[in-house]
Amino acid sequence: MENSSEDRGPGQPDPQAPEGEVIILVPGDERSQKIAKAISSQAAGDVLHALERGPQTAGALASALAMPMGTVKYHIENLLEAGLIEVRDTKYSVKGRQVKVYGLRNQLLIMAPKVQNIRSILLKYAALFGVVVLSSLAAYAFLAASRLTTTGYGGGDRAAFQAEKTVNILAAPTPAPSPFPQTLPADIALAFFFGGVLVLIILLLYEVSVWRRMK
């Protein structure tokens, strides 16, 4: 005679239960929607909590929860369809009817964000690369303009230079000190560009590795 699952004490594992599995759920997919529907009521939560104590029949659940049999069967069907519970065993009632014994599935559910395809990832980083290029060009233009401004002659210097030129005394005016280092603007812009590209490459490789694991 086959041993019934109810012969075990509460909390004891079912030796026939499958090994634990990891289920990755994506928001909005069919499995997630079924799970959301199955656990949307307090009664469904009560059924799950009751099954945490061990596998039970629908009749035992209805009796333990003081819930109508029709309500219990409705939630059992939803939980079965969602894959949250399973039929662990069958037994015969005192009237000779075959009844099912239900238990929680041995699984771990993980809700993960929707995985992008590789094309969308590449398009995103292509757009970011364009931002880096434009930013580098803007930085070069700003530094070049600032260098010309700070190394040119001011208004007072030009007047003094013209006065000195009229009396044939040529004296080079002292340029105003530059707030920027005496490095070519192109060097600074290139350093900014390659630094941005390096950061993008690192982020791209990381996101592609995550995509391959979640694929």
Nearest to 16 by CA among 80, 122, 88, 84: 88
Q: Which residues, listed in sequence order, are joined to residue 90 by a DSSP beta bridge?
A: 100
Q: Which class is domain 19-111?
A: mainly alpha
Q: pLDDT at position 129, please?
A: 86
Regions of the chain where pLDDT drops below 50: 1-18, 153-157, 167-172, 178-182
pLDDT in tens, 166-198: 544 444 455 555 444 445 677 888 888 888 888
Q: pLDDT at position 214, please?
A: 62
Domain ranges of the chain: 19-111, 118-214
Do the bridges between strand 21-25 and strand 107-111 make them parallel or antiparallel, or are there none, so unpaired? parallel
| Interhelix angle 58-65/69-82, nearest 10 degrees | 120
In the block, which residue shows the tokens 């992008």? Answer: 116
Contact 200, 127 (CB under 8 A): no
Tokens for 114?
Answer: 């929707």
Burial of 48: CB neighbours in 10 Å, binned 0-12, 13-18, 19+: middle
Task: Report the distance separating Cα 100 and Cα 58, nearest Å.
Answer: 8
CA angle centred on 163, ends 161 and 168, rounded to 5°:
90
Q: pLDDT at position 203, please?
A: 84
Distances (CA, A) of 2 to 6, 155, 209: 12, 105, 49
pTM over 0.75: no
Q: pLDDT at position 112, please?
A: 61
In angstroms and rounded to an integer, the radius of gyration of the C-alpha atoms of the chain is 37
CB within 8 Å of 44: residues ≥ 6 apart = 38, 75, 78, 79
Amino acid at 153: Y
Task: Report the distance separating Cα 149 and Cα 175, nearest Å.
Answer: 10
Q: pLDDT at position 124, please?
A: 80
Q: pLDDT at position 79, please?
A: 93
